[in-house]
Amino acid sequence: MPFALENYWVWDHWILTSDNQLDLFYLHAPKSLGDPALRHFSARIGHAVSRDNGDTWEVLPPAILPRETPDFDDRAIWTGSAIHLPGGGIRLYYTALSKKDEGRAIQRIGWADSTDGVTFERKRSWNDPDHLPIEAGTTWYETEQSGIGDVAWRDPFVFQEEGTWHMIVTASLPHAPEERQIGTLAHLTSTDMETWEIRKPLVEQELFSELECAQLREIDGKHWLVFSCTPRMQQPKTPGFTWIVEGPTKFGPFDIKDAKYLKNTEIYAYQIFQNTDADWKITGFHSSDDATFTGTIPPFIDWGTDEFTALSDVDLALEEN
C-alpha cells in the first residue's frame, strides 16, 4: 500500500531489511510550508517499520532532526542509508546542511547509532575535532574551496565487501564548464567505519549533471549501479528519471552509454532492496516535479530489467554532444 502522512510530504527514502521487519527511513517536511519547493531546507528523517513487507506501517519518532545548537547539521537533514552494525544495532548515515553556509548548500555527511532501533545518537560534530563530519575533498571532486556555488556531497550509500566498508556519495567533478555541472560518484573506504579515505570517482560521464541516491547491487550474479537524475539535469535530455547500469564487477567500470531508465517516470530517487522474503523490489517517491509532487511513496514494484528502457533506444547521438 502507499505510504503517506496527513501533515507531511514524504520523498527520498531507503529501507533496511531484517529477518522479520522493514525499517523505512524517509525525508519529510510539513505541508504547512504551502509550496513543496520549500521542503528541501525543512527536511528531516522520519522512521517507520513494517512486519508485513510494506502492507502496513507503524510510524515511529523521527530518527534525525536538524540539530538545535550550531553545527554541520543544524539547517536540514537529507538522504542517507542504514546498515546493521556488526555488534548489533543500526547505524544511520545522513547528509546535512549548516546555517553557517546560508546562501550555499555545502553538503556534509554524518552518522548516528541506535541500540534499540528507535533512538539515534549522533557520532559526528564540528565541536569534536576527533569526530568531524565527512566533507568533500581531494582534487577529484568539487569542494567548498574550489567552487563558489553549492557543493554536492550527499546521499551516502554504505556497505561491506570482503572486510572493507565502502561509501558511495553523490559528488561533482571540479573545474567543470562554468555553465554546466558534471556529476560523478565519489568512492570512500574504511576498515573501522570511523576513518574514511576518499578515493577516485566510481564513474566518468558527461550526460548527467548529478547522479543522486546511488546504490551498488548484486542481483542474480549481475552487478548494477542504481541512480537518479531528472531530464532537466541531463544534456542532451532523455525521458528517463531513474537509471540502472550493469558492470562486470561490483565496482564497475560502468559505461553510462549502456544505462537503462525505469519506464515508470513518475517514480524518482528509486532504490532497489530485498524484502523479508528475499524478493527484490523497487521503491521511490511519487514525482520529482513540484507541479505533480504528491509527497507519497507508491506501492513497491517487482524488480525486473523488463521494467527499464535502454538509453540507446531513445536514439541519442551522445558522441555528437
What is the SS3 assignment for 157? strand
Q: How many CB atoms lie within 10 A of CB 265?
A: 17
Look up residue 103 and give its three cell numbers. 546562501
Across-strand partners of 134? 109
- CA 129/CA 8 separation, integer angstroms: 36
- The pairing of strands 58-64 and 260-262 is unpaired
- Confirm if 307 and 263 have CB atoms less than 8 A apart: yes
**How far from each other are the two terminal CA atoms of the chain, in whole angstroms?**
42
Q: pLDDT tens track of the chain, all 321 residues?
A: 689 999 999 999 999 999 999 999 999 999 999 999 999 999 999 999 999 999 999 999 999 999 999 999 999 999 999 999 999 999 999 999 999 998 899 999 999 999 999 999 999 999 999 999 999 988 899 998 876 788 999 999 999 999 999 999 999 998 666 667 899 999 999 999 999 999 999 998 989 999 999 999 999 999 999 999 999 999 888 889 999 999 999 999 999 989 999 988 889 999 999 999 999 999 999 987 777 899 999 999 999 989 899 887 765 444 444
- In Å, the largest CA–CA distance within the chain is 55
- CA 164/CA 174 separation, integer angstroms: 27
Question: Residue 42 carries which side chain, given as an amino acid letter?
Answer: S
- CA 46/CA 298 separation, integer angstroms: 17
